[in-house]
Amino acid sequence: MSPRPELSLVFPVFDEEENVGPLLASAVALGRRLGRRFEIVVVDDGSRDDSALHIAAARALHPEVRSVHHPSNRGYGAALRSGLRAARGTLVFFSDADLQFDLAELEHLLAHTESFDVVAGVRTPRRDPWGRRLLAFGWGTLVNALFGLGVRDIDCAFKLFRREVLDAIPIASLGAFVNTEILVRARAAGFRIRQVPVTHHPRPAGRAKGATPRVIGRALLELATLYGELRTAARSAAPADGALPARTSSP
């Protein structure tokens, strides 16, 4: 087997034919510039457009690109979970395929991996329409109230993990709740979280798939399920063993 890569870059893709080609070219250029052994894992979550053709073209050009294919659309969380499971790196990064982030800013996250287990981007400022920003504010308020997470931009799709985090926590979410689930489980397991500002751009092409009633409903159901699971676990573990909670650091 080839040596384990130092860095995995994971990208879930669903109907991003206009964006996925430039995304993967940018990711390859970044990986080579960083001078680390790296791989790119792209997950085609049952795209109905020509995304798969662009992914195949990138694989033919760049040996660092690996792909996972879902025959049908399973949801953002399921796609991300497949990519994280396939990733082999000692550090694992993920982002979306919509070109709303500058991948070069991954270097800002890498600078914190000696002291923190999870490095989470904070969109500064966030360039989404006001309705999505309002929804995100309400969601963040709810999650922080229920779980005491203390993270400003929970759903920012620009995160970096040490391998130990992904090996230690289960991921059950099939939908948009996956970002919240990963952070909540990581914090509950005692991992250290650092928040870092990252640049956010308007989507250049394609259509956003989140924030639909179906996506929101599934996220709320998965939130309630995780809350019940952690409450049950906390009651079973009482009395507390005196361990200190994980530290969450902001910029």
Does pLDDT of 244 surpass 50? no
pLDDT tens figures, 115-141: 999 999 999 999 888 888 898 899 999
- Give the chain's mean pLDDT: 92
Residue 40 φ/ψ, nearest 5 degrees: -120, 125
* Three-state SS sequence of 89-139: CCEEEEECCCCCECHHHHHHHHCCCCCCCEEEEEECCCCCCHHHHHHHHHH
* CA distances for 136 relative to 61, 130, 149, 152, 242, angstroms: 38, 10, 15, 10, 34
Rg of the chain over Cα atoms, rounded to whole angstroms, equals 18
> 208 pLDDT band (50/70/90 cuts)?
confident
Say what the pTM is: 0.89
Q: Which CATH superfamily is domain 7-249 in?
A: Spore Coat Polysaccharide Biosynthesis Protein SpsA; Chain A (3.90.550.10)
Tell me the mean pLDDT in the region 48-75.
Answer: 97
Domain boundaries, the chain: 7-249
